[in-house]
Structure 1
Amino acid sequence: MGFFDFGTIFFLIAAVVIFFQLRNVLGRRTGNERPPFDPYTAARSREKKDAAPATSGTENVVSLPKKRSPGADEDAYKVIDTVAKPGTDLNRGLRAIKDADQSFDPKGFVDGAKMAYEMIVMAYADGDRKTLKNLLSKEVYDGFVSAISERESRSEKIQSSFVGIDKAEIVSAEMKGSEAHITLRIVSELISATRNGAGEVIDGDPETVAEVKDVWTFARDTRSRDPNWKLVATEAED
């Protein structure tokens, strides 16, 4: 029994000594230790550091992407060539817009213009000034609002139903400074009738689908972050 007690005490003392030695060697956690070393993160950091260009004393300089030179990448013009024959004025105009705005897609533009056309036609019929203001240039908006106000002053209302667009094609395109201008010929079908204050039809026909031909021009400043185009000119085609 005495041997057992002595052996137990001996091993207990040895364990305490080993614990304190390890504590002195490894130290205690204080909550301020550095995170474990990650060789992959360190390697990536070195690669980024090695790849970073010299700043030559200017730390806040950001390199801007170079603007693509006209004609530098024919592949980028494939979307243009599908809607306008190469060598034509229309093709050159669309290419100029593409040079100024690399995200420009003529097919996407036409789809958006068709949606805008319907919204504008219906907003004008309904006297919806708020919608028109977001889609029209100031000059065109003022003209539309003037016509709406005159109509309202006579207590007239337009009853209109949009049937659809039969055709929408780009007929001209050009850059005016930093502003892109695209003109479309739009053929649509519309049921429209104007009624006076007594509800009598004074123009149009509420039962007949009429073909409407318009030539509309949309514009957008390519330097602006706003991707939306606005209607800047309208004319009816005979």
Structure 2
Amino acid sequence: MLSKRHVDILEILEAEGAVTISALAGRLGVSLETVRRDVKPLTEAGTLLRIHGAVGLAGRIGEAPFQKRMRENAEAKRAIARAVAATIRDGESVMFDTGTTTSFVARELMRHRRLTVVTNSSDIARTLATVNGNRVYMAGGELRSDSGAAFGKSALDFIAQFAVHHAIISVGAIDEAGVMDYALEEAEFARLVLSRGERRVVVTDHSKFGRRGLIAVAGFDEVDEIVTDRAPDAVPADRLAAAGARLVLAG
């Protein structure tokens, strides 16, 4: 039987991955010894693993950072993905950059048929390559260990050959100046993806608004739609509309 504190510990680890014993004690407002007693039966049962003064869920130790990010704001990302998938018709072409929200969109497209998909994301390629007569084109180059996505000149040259119905990117930050990211290669790739679509779509949950990234991806005048789960305070819809971008709220 799990106590209330056992449940709290599992919920913290589910959300955050491995956490130190001292951090757990602080979060729960109990002593280090109390936390050690609480985690002991869970580790003995194989539910948790102890690693260097910390504990984590057994199935999550060694998990790639991309998979951890897939769990962050998952319900919001799923709602955004459903809204975008509903606007894409069978037989159309879609280009994706790599990102957790675009990966959610790919999962919502698994019931679509005869799609042509262009991406640098191995996760998106695997999701859509073997279902319903789709054609998937995967950009080559060096695969990043954290995301399983290809970047570099060869990846850029590859996607520059395509023109698609829908260009869909996810981003790390949106402020009053536009859409931004934190990594140069990801920003370059996303910028090129947008330029290849008849319809240019940014998908992002509300937590990215009001952040200032390191590298500009696009101004609002270079985007047709921003699909999110909640109306942002930091970037009002009328400001987006003035630049020609439409704010779409999922759900």
Question: Shorter chain as normaliser: what TM range?
Answer: under 0.3
Compare CA radii of gyration and give the structure with the larger one: 1
TM-score by structure 1 length?
A: 0.25
